[in-house]
């Protein structure tokens, strides 16, 4: 793995953020597009075509795309309650127990996040009313693996927030079935409806509705480049949570850390996807070398070693910084999804961290635990968006309605200012509407006196 001693060189290479629009399909991805659509198309063009097709032809388009893209011949898109109930028999007891433990921890964490409304009666009534969204669509990735953890991490916060109907879509297997672990997790999390649909076509169906798939108010959850582009294109028709790209971890460690554990954490990140990023910034060149050796040693017997190797070769690196402060500065510039701090006196550095989706403090706080059972949702901002966005949380599933119910006294005090601003903006009808009320409020005061 690359070891970079020059932080400016690191800034211009492994720590440089590429604009979202620069995302390019892999050679295999390009071949799949050519086979599916009969011509060379960019990811953006593919998504435009899929959305237009689904809007025009509804379920017919979904069936055609599911067959051509997922190789699945779909009868009913919706998974029946009987199928969901039967799934528990296909999942071993150890996994079922683990999912229940994780679900409990995720629920407990998000119960503490409740967004509160408030009303101030000192000026009549001013405040905010918090209302849960009526119906949300959750996208859970599939394909090379099933992710029941993502079901829990998205659906449980939605239910805690009070969403009336939670709809989940996930790619089917070639036989048209949804993995049993996904269905069990959906049942544990209280998901109301599950649909065997993946890709941009699932996003289009949730945004616009079809004969089978209901239109939702907001679409949330991670996905591949086609899913992310589709979410961006339907924003405004529906709400979205974010545009999550490939997952990423940045570890800051000094020579007090265990190089074997550090290497294990980097490999845990790298095995996700060839596009995943596993980065280490350390203050010790010797520690960098030890971690590099450990990565090579542990990689040998890793079942997903080819994926991890591609990830490390393309995006992975170890950067040697002059100090922990410099390492944190680099991390703030990068804005990682996951920031792991395994340094002496780690808590003393928390105040210096500005940009990160999640901070994993101390050697026991493995990011892998956060992926499954720590408590916070593992859907976190990627691609540097931690500069302005947050992990998925209860605020994503509610909206705030402002309440204005002022009395005549407040109208007398605030009305003249509002009318003056309205006139300055040339909106005379606004000013008149205010002045009529002001006249009435003044008249009422004079009558009372």
Query: CA-CA distance, 284 to 299, in Å (whole number)?
Result: 22
Do the beta carbons of residue 2 and residue 317 sit within 8 Å? Answer: yes
> Active-site residue numbers?
337-338
Residue 233 shares a structural domain with residue 122: yes
Is residue 388 domain-resident? no
What was the pLDDT predicted at 444? 66
pLDDT of 445 over the 90 cut: no
Residue 264 shares a structural domain with residue 238: no
Residue 292 shares a structural domain with residue 213: no
Residue 234 shares a structural domain with residue 140: yes
What was the pLDDT predicted at 370? 96
What was the pLDDT predicted at 137? 98
Residue 103 shares a structural domain with residue 125: yes
Residue 216 shares a structural domain with residue 107: yes
Comparing 32 with 231, the larger pLDDT belongs to 231
* 379-409 residue pLDDT tens: 999 999 999 999 999 999 999 999 999 888 8
> Beta strand pairing status for 398-404 and 126-132?
antiparallel
Do the beta carbons of residue 266 and residue 280 sit within 8 Å? Answer: yes
Query: CA-CA distance, 223 to 123, in Å (whole number)?
Result: 47
Residue 196 shares a structural domain with residue 231: yes
Lowest mean pLDDT among 117-121, 273-277, 291-295, 438-442: 438-442
- Over residues 289-301, the mean pLDDT reads 97
Residue 145 shares a structural domain with residue 219: yes
User: Where do we find the tokens 């971690």?
Assistant: 291
Residue 94 shares a structural domain with residue 234: yes
Question: On the CB side of 66, how many CA atoms lie within 13 Å of its CA?
Answer: 27
Query: CA-CA distance, 361 to 346, in Å (whole number)?
Result: 7
What was the pLDDT predicted at 341? 98
Count of domains in the chain? 3
Give the confidence band of 443 by pLDDT, cuts at 50, 70, 90: confident
- Over residues 362-391, the mean pLDDT reads 96
**What φ, ψ does residue 384 adopt, rounded to 5°?**
85, 0
What was the pLDDT predicted at 20? 62
Let me know if 297 is exposed, middle or buried by CB neighbors in 10 A (0-12, 13-18, 19+): exposed
Query: CA-CA distance, 318 to 4, in Å (whole number)?
Result: 6
The domain spanning residue 14 has which CATH number? 3.40.50.1980
Is residue 390 domain-resident? no
Helix (H, G, I), strand (E, B) or coil at 58: coil
Is residue 412 domain-resident? yes
Is residue 389 domain-resident? no
pLDDT of 449 over the 60 cut: no
Give the confidence band of 441 by pLDDT, cuts at 50, 70, 90: confident
Is residue 55 domain-resident? no
Residue 107 shares a structural domain with residue 215: yes
* 185-214 residue pLDDT tens: 999 999 999 999 999 999 999 999 999 999
- H or E segment at 12? helix 7-12
- Over residues 349-357, the mean pLDDT reads 98
Q: Which domain holds residue 263?
A: 3-19+255-375
Residue 110 shares a structural domain with residue 226: yes
Is residue 54 domain-resident? no
Residue 360 shares a structural domain with residue 415: no
Give the confidence band of 29 by pLDDT, cuts at 50, 70, 90: confident
Is residue 226 domain-resident? yes
Do the beta carbons of residue 189 and residue 156 sit within 8 Å? Answer: yes
pTM: 0.92
Is residue 61 domain-resident? no
Residues 6+ apart with CB under 8 A from 18: none
């Amino acid at each position: 793995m690359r070891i970079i001693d020059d932080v400016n060189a690191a800034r211009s290479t492994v720590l440089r953020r590429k604009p979202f629009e620069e995302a390019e399909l892999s050679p295999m991805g390009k071949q799949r597009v050519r086979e599916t659509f009969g011509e060379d198309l960019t990811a953006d063009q593919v998504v435009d075509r899929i959305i237009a097709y689904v809007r025009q032809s509804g379920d017919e388009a979904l069936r055609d795309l599911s067959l051509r893209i997922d190789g699945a011949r779909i009868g009913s898109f919706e998974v029946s309650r009987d199928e969901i109930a039967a799934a528990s028999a296909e999942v071993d007891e150890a996994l079922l127990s683990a999912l229940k433990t994780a679900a409990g921890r995720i629920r407990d964490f998000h119960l503490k996040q409740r967004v509160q409304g408030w009303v101030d009666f000192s000026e009549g009534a001013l405040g905010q009313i918090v209302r849960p969204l009526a119906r949300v669509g959750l996208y859970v990735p599939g394909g090379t693996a099933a992710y029941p953890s993502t079901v829990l991490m998205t659906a449980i916060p939605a239910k805690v927030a009070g969403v009336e109907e939670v709809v989940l879509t996930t790619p089917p297997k070639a036989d048209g079935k949804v993995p049993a672990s996904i269905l069990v997790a959906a049942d544990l999390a209280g998901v109301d409806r599950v649909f065997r649909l993946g890709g941009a076509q699932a996003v289009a169906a949730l945004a616009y509705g079809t004969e089978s798939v209901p239109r939702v108010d907001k679409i949330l959850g991670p996905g591949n480049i086609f899913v992310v582009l589709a979410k961006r294109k339907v924003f405004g028709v529906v709400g979205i949570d974010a545009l999550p790209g490939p997952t990423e971890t940045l570890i800051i460690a000094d020579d007090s850390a265990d190089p074997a554990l550090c290497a294990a954490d980097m490999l845990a990140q790298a095995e996700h996807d060839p596009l995943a990023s596993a980065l280490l910034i350390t203050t010790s060149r010797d520690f960098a070398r030890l971690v590099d050796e450990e990565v090579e040693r542990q990689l040998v017997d890793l079942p997903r070693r080819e994926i991890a190797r591609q990830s490390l070769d393309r995006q992975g690196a170890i950067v040697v910084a002059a100090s922990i402060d410099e390492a944190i500065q680099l991390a703030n510039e990068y804005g990682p999804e996951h920031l792991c701090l395994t340094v002496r006196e780690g808590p003393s550095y928390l105040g210096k961290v500005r940009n990160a989706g999640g901070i994993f403090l101390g050697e026991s706080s493995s990011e892998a635990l956060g992926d499954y059972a720590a408590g916070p949702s593992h859907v976190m901002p990627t691609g540097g968006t931690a500069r302005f966005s947050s992990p998925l949380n209860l605020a994503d599933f509610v909206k705030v309605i402002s309440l204005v119910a002022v009395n005549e006294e407040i109208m007398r005090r605030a009305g003249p200012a509002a009318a003056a601003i309205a006139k300055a903006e040339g909106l005379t009808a606004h000013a008149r509407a205010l002045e009529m009320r002001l006249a009435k409020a003044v008249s009422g005061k004079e009558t009372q006196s």
